[in-house]
Amino acid sequence: MSGEGALVNEQRAARDVMPAGVEAMSAKRQRAEEAVEELRGECVRQGEEAEKVRVDATEAAAKVMEDAETQAAEILRLARADRAALDAEKAAMEKTYAFQIGKIKLDVGGHKFTTSKTTLTSVPDTYLNSLVSGRYLLSADADGMYFIDRDGAHFGHILNYLRDPGRDY
């Protein structure tokens, strides 16, 4: 029995130790499951934070795009306004240029006048329009002036009317 007794004693000891080992293993398993749950909860929180960051970034990007489109529209509006002003200035300068290259000197009854071809042709079917239209051969005198045999005292009023035909003089 000594062999058998020892075996029985070992079995008893093992039975006594086994519940303590099972409890220890069970406690470790419980702690491991709790740690896994804690990690799952952390992952969910981080996922929620990441989603919030993504939503915030998307909203911020949309705002930046909206602001950029607004600024682009304003820049385009200003560029168009500048272009219109430039075109108006260019037209005015071309008109001035036309006056400069079309400068005509007149001697009307001894009174000297300087005007432009544009002014003299502003009202159709007039003597002055015909004078500079190129349909008739006219020659300037030695001073480059065209002589008109009329009273020059009031000719300035005629030129002013031709310069601004809608105004009463």
The CA angle 161-154-111, to the nearest 5 degrees, is 110
How far apart CA 69 and CA 62 sit, in angstroms, is 10
How far apart CA 88 and CA 93 sit, in angstroms, is 9
Structural fold of domain 102-163: Potassium Channel Kv1.1; Chain A (3.30.710)
| Secondary structure letter of residue 121 according to DSSP | T
Q: Where are the alpha helices (DSSP H) in the chain?
A: 2-101, 117-120, 127-132, 155-163
Give the residue among 157, 61, 59 at the shortest CA–CA distance from 108: 157
Per-residue pLDDT of the chain (169 residues; tens, 9 = 90+): 566 666 666 666 656 655 666 677 778 888 888 888 998 989 889 989 989 999 999 999 999 999 999 999 999 999 999 999 999 998 888 877 665 667 899 999 999 999 988 888 888 888 888 888 778 777 888 988 989 999 999 999 999 999 887 776 5
Q: What confidence score (pLDDT) does residue 165 get?
A: 75
Q: What confidence score (pLDDT) does residue 130 get?
A: 86
62 alpha carbon, distance to own chain's centre: 18
Q: What confidence score (pLDDT) does residue 46 get?
A: 92
**Which amino acid is present at 14?**
A
Listed by start position, the domains of the chain span 1-100, 102-163
Predicted TM-score of the model (pTM): 0.42
